[in-house]
Amino acid sequence: MATPDFIRTLRTSIGHHPLWLPGVSAVVLDEEGRVLLNRRSDTREWSLIGGIPDPGEQPAACAVREVEEETGVRCAVERVIVVQALTPVTYENGDVCQYMDITFRCRALGGEARVNDDESLEVGWFAVDALPELGEFGMLRIKQALMDAPTWFDPTTSE
C-alpha cells in the first residue's frame, strides 16, 4: 500500500512511534455474486480492496475511490458490514500503525477489473465457492457481506 503524503509528514515528527489510523475495506460484488479481489504487490497475497482515507474524506467515499484507483471498477456503497480495531502492524522500515477498519459491502456499477496502479499484481472476480486463499480478515468480511445481518463488531470491552 502506498503511504499517503500526510502520513509521511506525520512520521517526520513522530518517527516510528505507533500511529492510530482509519482504514476502509470493500467487499465488492458484481451482478453474478462474484467478489472483487486483488493480489497485493507488497505481500503477494490475495486481499479485499482497501486503503486509508485522506484527511477529511468520508470512509464510504474512500472505499469507492480506492476500488476505482486500484482495480478500474466503479462501485456504490450499500452498507457497513464490519467495524473492527485491528492488531498493530510493524512495517519493514520500523513504522508501527494500528488501524480502525470500516468494511463496506459495495455493488459494482461498471468498469473492467484490471491492475490499475502499482499496489496490485493481479485483479479479478471470484465466485464465492472458488476464492483464492484468503486470511480470516477477508473471509469474515465476505461472509458478513453475503448475509442480511447487522454490522459485525467485537463486543469485547476492556472493563
Over its length of 159 residues, how does the chain's per-residue pLDDT go in tens digits? 578 898 888 898 898 888 999 999 999 999 999 999 999 998 899 999 999 999 999 999 999 999 999 999 999 999 999 999 999 999 999 999 999 999 999 999 999 999 999 989 999 999 999 999 999 999 999 999 999 999 999 887 655
Whole-structure pTM value:
0.90
Structural contact between residues 125 and 113, judged by C-beta atoms closer than 8 angstroms = yes
Grid cell for residue 88: 498493530
End-to-end CA distance of the chain: give it in Å, rounded.
35
**How far apart (Å, rounded) are the C-alpha atoms in residues 151 and 80?**
6
Structural contact between residues 89 and 98, judged by C-beta atoms closer than 8 angstroms = yes
If DSSP codes are grouped into helix, strand and coil, which group holds residue 139?
helix
pLDDT at 42: 87
Grid cell for residue 150: 447487522
